Amino acid sequence: MTVSTPFKAAVLVNSISAIDPAFRSAFQECISSACPGAQVDFFDPIEAQIYPEPAQYDLIVLSGGTADAMAKDIPWVLKMKDFLRTTVEKCPTQKILGICWGHQIINIAFGGMVGPMDRFEIGVTPITLTSTGSSFYSSYLPSTERYNIHEFHEREVKTPGKGFIALAEDNQSLVNTANTILTFQGHPEMSAELSRLLLRDTPKYMGVDAAEKKALEIRIDSPHDGIAIWKRIVQWTGEV
């Protein structure tokens, strides 16, 4: 598959909050760092419910969000699943990337299951690669065993979608057998600053004690592989 010049990415912003401009800026900066001169357009699938025309973009990105991806009574969530299935059917070579909530809704759309975790995972976290994942990321990461990525979630993929292969343990990163859909539970676009903004609006962490706050700060400020992962994503977009 040949990518456009400039590289064109469409980002579906799957949340509505006061910090959405910061999220959009983070995506713009990361994609542009990985591919200088990239064109990044943003779409609102919640209120406006406007979707990109796949043929106009090299990559369609589904961002994180807070809605229940398993819900059967949220119209825009159901429409998102229909969009994914229709795109795969009608545009079988289209590259799609799912991040956090996007990772979850993609797997649900193709027969997987998502459920609650026993904890809320926050901060830079080492993710162990499978042997397939080690090969997939081998030229981009400093380690062949793991990558470090910002996490911010309390649900996880329990069962991957049909035809998805694990690139990392615990369904943290998956790719489909057609090599057209790539997903991450973590946030390669996230920075320490953005993580703090999210944390500020998370009620359960507003009253934590000093020791827990310190531990969170250490995790949030730890080095991560976000840009290296984005470079791999851009390279993957051009693969058959």
DSSP characters for 2-51?
Answer: PPPSS-EEEEEEE--STTHHHHHHHHHHHHHHHSTT-EEEEE-TTTT---
Cβ density class 126-137: b for 16+ within 10 Å, e for less: ebebeeebbebb
Say if residues 165 and 172 touch (Cβ distance below 8 Å).
Answer: no
Catalytic residue among 103, 151, 156, 189: 189
Assess whether 187 carries a catalytic annotation. yes
Catalytic residue among 100, 150, 151, 156: 100
Assess whether 35 carries a catalytic annotation. no
Unique residue bearing structure tokens 């903004």: 197
Q: Which residues contact 25 (CB under 8 A, 6 or more apart)?
A: none
Assess whether 53 carries a catalytic annotation. no
Say if residues 227 and 33 touch (Cβ distance below 8 Å).
Answer: yes
User: Nearest Cα to 13, choosing from 55, 61, 52?
Assistant: 61
Catalytic residue among 103, 150, 153, 187: 187
User: Nearest Cα to 117, choosing from 71, 168, 185, 165?
Assistant: 185
DSSP characters for 178-237?
Answer: TS-EEEESSBTT--HHHHHHHHHT-GGGTT--HHHHHHHHHHHTS---HHHHHHHHHHHH
Q: Which residues contact 197 (CB under 8 A, 6 or more apart)?
A: 19, 22
Known catalytic residues are: 100, 187, 189
